[in-house]
Chain A
């Protein structure tokens, strides 16, 4: 089956018969079944013991590299750092032509132009965090302007944050309307909605936030900003993948998932890939539908890749510092 992430039909909520009013959203989200916390954690622990070796490992490493959103979101980011990151995104391992490019470079709004310029002529996409990242604490007009400026500067993908305060206080329609408005401001750019699961307290909230974002038109749901600990975890990603699976069953729409933050080793990344394969199937094992938001992960992937291709262990002196 050909799978491409669909542009959000504005009526996906309507398709399910869910209105966008506060009452309708609340009734729907609170009717979702609760998450079995112990079961979810046991499930990811069991899947985490899968042994992925030799050719399967080589495949997984290359796939994971292609799924990386190479990210730099520091106050100290400079045009030079973004240029270096773009060079690395295009050609992660200068000593080995066969290493694939990453999926995207993820930067702040004001550095989108620089990234665009340095990625010209490559397949690597430019993602921008917008909507008053990472807190989301700004008025809707400011957040929309943030978004439209990033799109105008050439961003292919927008990573927005939801207003966790509104979500936690039960103002679901505000969050819904935010996402709908930002989606409209994105135009053709893909919209990733960051739930910031580290602030949502429970898996039930993660499930509700996932559904809320998908109903409002998200193309991707993303775990975290990377600024809050805990960031991405396997159980949270499992809950989100289940939401994506169920959403597809209910609406036919296919939504991507992006765990971000705290994924640093190849072993971790492979655990996520196993989780994807076992939860939503291999339709999702593509950079179009699953991404890793990471910076140091890429270096570890490259080290493991070098180990497989040369037969001896590589070291941090053989990859870039950041």
Chain B
């Protein structure tokens, strides 16, 4: 019997629910922590970013209009699917980050737990972030959070799965659509996550993934008028300054790099970051 030939992987982008190669045709080599070749990944261009934003923009109305309860259910189902692929994620995290099996397993389970945690918040955070306000008149006065729109996420460079989930899940839980730029040197867990999302009930276009360089794609996302907010978690100091300046042109919400320890309890900071507070006055007895 002849030797079996390797099935080599070329990691694709994830745009509008499909897995296209980069429009530019470019790829780059992904290596493990020792420098050994693992796979080729698509090197996204500005036009891929453009397409991803168009897809996210198109997906946003339906996703944001879904009931919070439904969003929570859909996100919980993603966690169910992640649970079935723990082994794959553990091996990818190990290869990428060079950690022990035990630590990789801890990271993957923490990521799934975090996804469930955010899924649970989907229909609860509004009670915490919103409020009923005291006013001097015969009115009810409510402040309620609404999703801001399309959020660009530069995923953390140092935490290939937990960092990604910690930045992506809150964006989705509050009803936004996302365009994610994966960690450049370790994109494979992110690509595998999109393969999970594609088979879950998250509508096509709600999550879009670009693999490649945040330095190259970031400025196009930051200046893009159809992007409403940007998370700079994966940008270094210099890039963050550039992107903040670009984002100012269209008054985006910007979350500067927080350098947080992804293993700690995230709190509601990220969940309340990507919303607009709408306050309504309603006459009493009117």
A joins B in a complex = yes
Cβ contact within 8 Å between A313 and B57: no
Q: CA–CA, A317 to B226, complex, Å? A: 7
Set of chain A residues within 8 Å of B249, measured between Cβ atoms:
312
Set of chain A residues within 8 Å of B256, measured between Cβ atoms: none
Q: How far is the CA of A224 from the CA of B253 in the complex (A)?
A: 44
A267 to B240, CA, bound (A): 33
Complex-state Cα separation, A317 to B224, whole angstroms: 11
A80 contacts chain B at the CB level, 8 A cutoff: no
In the assembled complex, the Cα of A69 lies from the Cα of B123 at a distance in Å of 46
Which single residue of chain B is at the shortest CB-CB distance from A314? Answer: B225
Scan residues 119-143 of chain B and give those whose CB is less than 8 A from a CB of chain A. none
Would you list which residues of chain B between 242 and 258 have a CB under 8 Å from chain A?
A: 246, 249
Residue B206 lies at the interface, judged by CB distance under 8 Å to chain A: no
| B220 interface hit (Cβ, 8 Å) | yes
B223 contacts A by Cβ under 8 Å? yes
Does A316 interact with chain B (Cβ within 8 Å)?
Answer: yes
Residue A318 at the chain B interface, CB threshold 8 Å: yes
A314 CA to B53 CA in the complex, in Å? 11
Q: Is A315 an interface residue (CB 8 A)?
A: yes
**A318 to B250 alpha-carbon distance, docked (Å):** 11
Please, which residue of chain A has its CB at the minimum distance from the CB of B150? A315
Determine whether the beta carbon of A316 is less than 8 Å from that of B226. yes
Question: Is B77 part of the binding interface, using a Cβ–Cβ cutoff of 8 Å?
Answer: no
Q: Return chain B residues, CB-CB under 8 Å to A313.
A: 50, 53, 220, 223-226
Q: Which residue in chain A gives the minimum CB-CB distance to B246?
A: A312
Residue of A nearest to B53 (CB): A313
Give every chain B residue within 8 A of A306 (Cβ-Cβ): 225
Contact between chains at B226 and A312 (CB < 8 Å): no
Q: Flag if B223 contacts A312 (CB, 8 Å).
A: yes
Contacts of A312 in B (CB 8 A): 220, 223-225, 246, 249
Task: Tell me the complex Cα distance, A311–B249, Å.
Answer: 12
Please determine whether B50 and A315 come into contact, CB atoms closer than 8 angstroms: no
Chain B proximity mask over A289-322: 1 for CB below 8 Å, otherwise 0: 0000000000000000010000111111110000
- Residue of A whose beta carbon sits closest to that of B58: A316
- Closest Cβ of chain A to B104, distance in Å, is 38
Q: Mark B237-280, 1 if CB is under 8 A from A, else 0.
A: 00000000010010000000000000000000000000000000
Closest to B224 in A: A313
Which of B53, B223, B225, B227 touches A318 (beta carbons < 8 Å)? B225
A295–B103 Cα distance when bound, in Å, is 56
Residues of A within 8 A of B57 (CB): 315-316
Assembled-state Cα–Cα distance A318/B228 (Å): 12
A contact residues vs B (CB 8 Å cutoff): 306, 311-318
A-B contacts, 17 listed (Cβ < 8 Å): A306-B225, A311-B223, A312-B220, A312-B223, A312-B225, A312-B249, A313-B53, A313-B220, A313-B223, A313-B224, A313-B226, A314-B226, A315-B53, A315-B57, A315-B226, A316-B226, A318-B225
